[in-house]
A and B are shown apart, each in its own frame.
Chain A
Amino acid sequence: MLWWIWLLIIAFYFYNWVKEHVGFSPLLTLAVSGVLIYYMVIEYPWLGSLSFITMMLLTSGILYLLPWVLPFFFGHKPEQQQ
């Protein structure tokens, strides 16, 4: 059940992506989203999930947090003053 909900989510994501990019033509939107959903959700759902997660990582801005967080774990320790 969860798997089917996940598939629905990524299918909607692909449809929305196509609508955002070729939304000026409804026919093109249907055709391209059909192709994308057929291959990325029905044929290769793992590839579709991977691309969905990667796109979320790239576009959500979570990568901007890495340079703030990493120095806390890998930075220099301040020298203790005597």
Chain B
Amino acid sequence: MLLFLDGLFAFLDNLHFIVQIITWCYLLFWLYMTFRDMPVMFGLTSLIASYFIFAHSLSTSFLVLVFFAFMLMGTQLQMLLQFGVYPILGFLGIKPPNPFEPQMMGHEERQSAIQKALKGQEMSQQESQMLYQEMQAQMQQQSMQEAEQYVGAERKKMQQEQSNWEQEMYMRHG
């Protein structure tokens, strides 16, 4: 047991050293590219970076990992979430969050907000925002209905014209 733990600790120690070396390489590369024309700056900053990596290794490694996960892999993460995970969640019956969905108010909230608006009192920003979003959603719905009505009327008119034309042709040519 003790021997096994000893091996594990040695392994973790070596792994930690390897991660330090890799982080150091990435940082040296970045510094070299950044201070390509300023060798003095490169030397100074590489000394500082080496100090941070080998003296405060855990926090530096953590920061580098966070940088990699969210800044370099961020687009892949987002795409995996939106086009990979969300469809699976939908298949399982779980509704994924939609930040663009207008937030609906409760009845009492809406009443109090409308009362405030009628009395000319100041509304909180959240209330006015929600009212505005609701108004927008209603207007959108209304315009959609109007568009549907318009399209329906046009379709009916076209059908009427078609049948009129057919009748005319029938009357003319038999």
Contacts and interface: CB of A to CB of B under 8 A. Distances in A.
Contacts of A43: 14
B138 to A, nearest CB: 29
Given A36-B18, A44-B14, A70 B87 contact: yes
B29 interface: yes
Interface stretch (B72-80, B95-103, B116-124, B153-161): B72-80
B27 to A, nearest CB: 9
B29 A21 contact: yes
Interface residues of B, number: 23
A12 interface: no
Contacts of B82: 67
Per DSSP, chain B at the interface is helix
Per DSSP, chain A at the interface is helix
Interface in B66-91: 73, 76, 79-80, 82-84, 87-88, 90-91
Contacts of B130: none
A24 B32 contact: yes
A39 B88 contact: no
Contacts of B84: 66-67, 70-71
Interface in A22-46: 22, 24, 28, 32, 35-36, 39-40, 43-44
Contact of B14 (A20, A21, A39, A74): A39
Contacts of A70: 83-84, 87-88
A67 B71 CA distance: 20
B9 interface: no
A21 B91 contact: no
Contacts of B91: 74-76
B88 A21 contact: no
27 contacts: A18-B25, A20-B29, A21-B25, A21-B26, A21-B28, A22-B25, A22-B29, A22-B32, A24-B32, A32-B21, A39-B17, A58-B73, A63-B76, A64-B79, A66-B84, A67-B79, A67-B82, A67-B84, A68-B83, A70-B83, A70-B87, A70-B88, A71-B83, A71-B87, A74-B91, A75-B87, A75-B91
Interface of A: 18, 20-22, 24, 28, 32, 35-36, 39-40, 43-44, 47, 58, 63-64, 66-68, 70-71, 74-76
